[in-house]
């Protein structure tokens, strides 16, 4: 049984593992197979995961369309916690931030259509827009919340100061930051603030774009629009350092718990957050079948210390997530 948590405003408890669908959209992941994607979504639900996270920007609407088709085929919409996002826009495949009220009111209806539903469980501001007052964005989200089109309000990639400004206008029930064994910036402020405010953290990148999946090797090549071409972790000399750390983490997981490094990475997030949710990205059914591995173990203080020691030993220059931020509107339109 996958652990569950609670989000204010929802009638059902979301599982603490959610299926992440960025790769399912194909964009920045080298494409995807829709049939495989639908099978993956069904596999996740059958494995006990009731929470699915998606966004319009994942393939410029494609991921939402695939998720909507999968849920229509599976049925029982009321048993699924469906989370999507807003406030990114695009021209062709050039994505940029757009937190305007106009964008939000248009995108909610587009998302409802693509997802084949009449409400969104968790609606999240994908990225803050520096060209739009956060109060305007919050006001629009608050209106949708009052209308019942969304059951909970979330923000993603927000600082604590941005969250405080937002909360002066509308409530925040969830926050979605990057968080994994290798990317821990939110421990300084965002995570403590969320826990104090009873805001549930949906942690994305739990497997660090496949690094913590355990199958990546030094000869792995990334092509096309693959995000990892712009992530310094996947470039020399950093790639070698991170792979060395993964190998030692793999050994620790197997020798101490009889688990995979993938299970160790997800368990780490669940144990490090009081009520957080780990987003498990997948686009093939076999990438999600091992979810049962997470259920029967926890990481004690010695294991957490040993993990930190492995990272300190192998990674002399830790890389953050700064490269992931999309541009502002003017940079794309004028460019």
What are the boundaries of each domain within the chain? 17-334
**Phi then psi dihedrals of residue 4, to 5 deg:** -125, 160
Question: Class of the 17-334 domain?
Answer: alpha beta
> Whole-angstrom Cα distance, residue 258 to residue 260?
7
**Phi then psi dihedrals of residue 187, to 5 deg:** -65, -25
> Whole-angstrom Cα distance, residue 276 to residue 278?
7
Q: Which parts of 160-225 fold into alpha helices (H)?
A: 160-167, 190-196
| Residue 58 annotated among the catalytic residues of the structure | yes
What pLDDT does residue 205 have? 92
Q: Which parts of 116-220 fold into alpha helices (H)?
A: 134-147, 160-167, 190-196
pLDDT digits 0-9 by tens, 264-309? 999 999 999 989 999 998 888 988 888 889 989 999 999 999 999 9
pLDDT digits 0-9 by tens, 87-111? 999 988 788 999 999 999 999 999 9
Structure tokens at 183: 């990317």
Those residues whose C-beta lies under 8 Å from the C-beta of residue 163, and which sit 6 or more positions away, are 155, 172, 175, 190, 193, 197, 199
What pLDDT does residue 335 have? 53
**Phi then psi dihedrals of residue 16, to 5 deg:** -80, 0
Those residues whose C-beta lies under 8 Å from the C-beta of residue 88, and which sit 6 or more positions away, are 55, 56, 57, 95, 96, 97, 98, 126, 127, 326
pLDDT digits 0-9 by tens, 220-259? 988 877 888 889 999 999 999 999 999 999 999 999 999 9
Distances (CA, A) of 110 to 57, 91, 334: 12, 16, 26
What pLDDT does residue 242 have? 97
When mean pLDDT is compared across 74-78, 163-167, 174-178, the lowest value belongs to: 74-78
**Phi then psi dihedrals of residue 293, to 5 deg:** -60, -25
**Phi then psi dihedrals of residue 200, to 5 deg:** -80, 130
pLDDT digits 0-9 by tens, 12-55? 999 999 999 988 876 554 567 899 999 999 999 999 999 999 99
What pLDDT does residue 223 have? 80
280 neighbors 212 (Cβ within 8 angstroms)? no
- In our burial notation (b when 16+ CB lie closer than 10 A, e otherwise), range 150-184 reads bbbbbbbbbebebbebbbebbbbbbbbbbbbbbbb
29 neighbors 22 (Cβ within 8 angstroms)? yes
What pLDDT does residue 31 have? 60
| Selected catalytic residue, list 58, 145, 179, 242 | 58
pLDDT digits 0-9 by tens, 113-135? 999 999 999 999 999 999 999 99
């Amino acid at each position: 049984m996958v652990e569950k948590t609670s989000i204010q405003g929802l009638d059902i408890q979301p599982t603490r593992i959610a299926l992440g669908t960025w790769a399912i959209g194909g964009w920045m992941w080298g494409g995807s197979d829709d049939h495989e994607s639908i099978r993956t979504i069904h596999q996740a639900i059958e494995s006990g995961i009731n929470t699915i996270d998606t966004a319009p920007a994942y393939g410029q609407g494609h991921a939402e369309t695939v998720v909507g088709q999968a849920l229509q085929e599976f049925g029982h919409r009321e048993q699924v916690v469906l989370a999507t996002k807003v406030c990114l826009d695009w021209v062709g495949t050039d994505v940029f931030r757009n937190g305007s009220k106009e964008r939000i009111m248009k995108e909610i209806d587009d998302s409802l259509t693509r997802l084949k539903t009449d409400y969104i469980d968790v609606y999240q501001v994908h990225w803050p827009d520096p060209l739009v007052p956060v109060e305007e964005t919050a006001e629009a989200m608050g209106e949708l919340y009052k209308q019942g089109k969304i059951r909970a309000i979330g923000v993603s990639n927000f600082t604590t100061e941005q969250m405080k400004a937002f909360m002066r206008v509308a409530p925040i029930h969830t926050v979605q930051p990057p968080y994994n064994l290798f990317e821990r910036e939110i421990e300084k402020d965002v995570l403590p603030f969320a826990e104090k405010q009873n805001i549930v953290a949906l942690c994305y990148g739990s497997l660090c774009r496949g690094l913590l999946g355990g199958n990546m090797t030094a000869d792995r090549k990334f092509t096309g629009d693959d995000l990892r071409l712009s992530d310094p972790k996947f470039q020399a000399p950093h790639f070698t350092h991170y792979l060395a750390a993964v190998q030692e983490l793999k050994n620790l997981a197997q020798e101490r718990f009889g688990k995979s490094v993938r299970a160790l990475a997800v368990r780490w997030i669940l144990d490090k957050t009081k009520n957080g949710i780990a987003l498990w990205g997948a686009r093939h059914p076999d990438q999600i079948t091992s979810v049962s591995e997470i259920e029967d173990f926890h990481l004690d203080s010695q294991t957490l210390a040993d993990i930190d020691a492995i990272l300190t030993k192998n990674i002399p220059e830790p890389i953050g997530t700064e490269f992931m931020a999309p541009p502002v509107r003017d940079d794309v339109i004028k460019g």
